[in-house]
A and B are shown apart, each in its own frame.
Chain A
Amino acid sequence: MASRLIVENVEAGYGAVRVLHGVSVHVEQGESVVLLGSNGNGKSTLIKCIMGIVQPTSGRIWLEVDGERIDLAGRSPQAIVDLGIAVVPEGRRLFPTLSVEENLMLGAYRQGARAKLAGNLDFMFEVFPVLAERRNQLAGSMSGGEQQMVAVARALMSEPRILLVDEPSVGLAPIMVNRMIAKIKELKERRSLTVLMAEQNFNQAIKIADRGYIIVHGEIAFEGASAEDLRANDMIKRYYLGV
């Protein structure tokens, strides 16, 4: 099944504050697309719009499955998970008083995912062996890197077609960021995932990127057709690195 994600002219905000001013982004089947931008430019808000946590005030968000367009606006996060989209939230947001295994099981709460729970759990433990060792440990007592693994594994427990990753590098040591990005790449290939990743760490994000966007003050400032394109662009230095 081929699925694409299309975001068209989305405007959104919180109360009187407008964060996104007409953002358009698209992610094709099997692609890894990165959304680059420093703090407070609207990356997380866009991810929240796609997940149905924040409702856009205007614009459309589509999921296209085999040519058929499904409007995501107005749908609940649960319904969006049912459609095959999952998110690794910013700051991991695990359930700290529950064990690693319980955290993963909660990722497969939807009816469709429950049937394949045992197989998916085994798969996650194979990909992240350290989680298998610590399956009964409370998630809140683990290191940042391990918690990030739990967050990624939890999101994949629902067997999504499209994975949204929000700032996987937050609070992690550079070496852990490196490993996380490599893992996401590995998972993407093994599960034929489509990935949209919001990240401010340019050099890390570029390793996984097929394409990318740079978001500045809630607008897409630059669209790069390839990783090289992003790297070469002078705009990145001006807006993104702020030099």
Chain B
Amino acid sequence: MFRNRGDVVFWIVLGAVLLAGFGVTQTIANEYYYTAIYAILQATIMAVAWNILGGFTGYVNFGSAAFFAIGAYTAVALDKWLGLPMPFLIAASAAVCGLMGLGVGYLTLRLKGVYFAIATLAMAIVLETLINNWDYVGAAKGVYILTPEKVPFFSSYIQLLFMVMLALTLGSIAISRYLNASRIGRGLAAIRDDEVAAECAGVPTLRLKLISTTLMGAMMGVAGAPYPFFVTFVDPISAFNLFVAVNSIAMPMIGGTAHWIGPVIGALLVGGAQEVITVTVSSELNVLIVGIMLVLFITLAPQGIVGLVQKWMKRRKR
């Protein structure tokens, strides 16, 4: 766990954030803050997960919303069927979406680039149609979820969900960071740079791609699992929202895709901006803001914020 000083600092920061989160729930009662931060945290997990395949491995997934929604609906179905507690629901969503990711991984055998992106988008549409016709989870008319009135340690259920989401976010960041610096991460980078050359050098490309897609799917499922309990009403339109997919692509792009911190910065920046704009300007302008930010970054700073900082540091060194 502690390979060097950077690792120690990282884990201290992680612990401090978690503690700070807990401290906040004990002092601030206004539920708006939890709702807003929850949305940002959810976007962070999605961005970090997307980046494992999109940034580290170089395969663009346009169907993030499908993984998110299947994670949410797995939780809905198991909650209704067995009434499992939250940790089991999260684990089950991770498993189901991880398997889905594994399936998508086999697509990479035949589809690359734009074709892969289109296939993932198509997968999202097919799955949305399936859920639209599945009566057990409410089909097209949606489903209401009952949440407990009282929870231990916290003054409201939203606060508990906020803490759960914070822990999951930190966990996914830790996984992504570990992966980035590991041998697997180096293999993924080789696939991104030149898949045929990686294959020739003896890198087990298929196995690595499967690890990458499975991990991405599982993380997105984890992000989706608490969602029904957060909004208390889910329908296919909100769960399969294209905005979820667009956000999880835009955030890593804006933050920088090659480094683990990129999607985190992107998610905090874009997610934060969205929440502020929703309150101060209009909830409709959200999408426009992401669009403008994405266009600006892709034209002016294609390597994202991380790339800008690296460039700036290099220049200062000289």
Contact = CB atoms under 8 A, between A and B. Distances in A.
Interface of A: 51, 53, 77-78, 81-82, 86-87, 89, 93-98, 102, 105-107, 109-110, 113, 154-155, 158
B186 A106 contact: yes
With most chain B CB atoms within 10 A of its CB, the pick from A51, A53, A106, A155 is: A106
Interface stretch (B26-34, B193-201, B218-226): B193-201
Given A95-B190, A97-B189, A98-B189, A109 B201 contact: yes
9 nearest CB pairs, A to B: A81-B202, A95-B193, A93-B197, A110-B202, A77-B199, A109-B203, A106-B190, A95-B190, A78-B202
A95 B197 contact: yes
A106 B200 contact: no
B271 interface: no
Contacts of A81: 200-202
Contacts of A78: 199, 202-204
With most chain A CB atoms within 10 A of its CB, the pick from B183, B197, B200, B203 is: B200
A93 B194 contact: yes
Contact of A89 (B190, B193, B200, B202): B200
B102 to A, nearest CB: 19
A109 B199 CA distance: 11
Nearest to A140: B193
Contacts of A155: 201
Contacts of B258: 97
A41 B75 CA distance: 59
Nearest to B193: A95
Given A77-B202, A78-B204, A109-B202, A89 B197 contact: yes
Given A106-B186, A106-B187, A109-B187, A98 B199 contact: no
B193 A97 contact: yes
26 contacts: A51-B200, A78-B199, A81-B200, A82-B202, A89-B197, A89-B200, A93-B196, A93-B200, A94-B193, A95-B189, A95-B198, A97-B192, A98-B186, A98-B189, A106-B187, A106-B190, A106-B198, A106-B201, A107-B201, A107-B202, A109-B187, A109-B201, A113-B202, A154-B201, A158-B201, A158-B202
B198 to A, nearest CB: 7
Contacts of A89: 196-197, 200
Nearest to A97: B193
Contacts of A87: 200
Contacts of B202: 77-78, 81-82, 86, 107, 109-110, 113, 158
B199 A53 contact: yes
B200 A53 contact: yes
Contacts of A51: 200
A9 to B, nearest CB: 24
Nearest to B58: A97
B137 to A, nearest CB: 42
Contacts of A102: 186, 189
A158 B200 CA distance: 11
A25 to B, nearest CB: 19
A53 B194 CA distance: 14
With most chain B CB atoms within 10 A of its CB, the pick from A77, A98, A105 is: A77
Interface string B169-203: 00000000000000100110110111011111111
A78 B197 CA distance: 11
A110 B194 CA distance: 18
A109 B204 CA distance: 8
A103 to B, nearest CB: 8
A110 B198 CA distance: 12
A97 B55 CA distance: 12
Given A78-B199, A87-B200, A98-B193, 18 more contacts: A77-B202, A78-B202, A81-B201, A86-B201, A89-B200, A93-B197, A94-B194, A94-B197, A95-B189, A95-B198, A102-B186, A106-B187, A106-B190, A106-B198, A109-B202, A109-B203, A113-B202, A154-B201
B272 to A, nearest CB: 29
Nearest to B208: A109
B199 A95 contact: no
Contacts of B204: 78, 109
B194 A95 contact: yes
With most chain A CB atoms within 10 A of its CB, the pick from B192, B199, B258 is: B199
A87 to B, nearest CB: 5
Nearest to A82: B202
Interface in B9-24: none
Contacts of B201: 81, 86, 106-107, 109, 154-155, 158
A94 B192 CA distance: 11
A19 B258 CA distance: 39
Contact of B186 (A77, A105, A158): A105
Nearest to A155: B201
Nearest to B206: A76
Nearest to B192: A97
B193 A96 contact: yes
Contacts of B189: 95, 97-98, 102
Nearest to B197: A93
B203 A106 contact: yes
A54 to B, nearest CB: 11
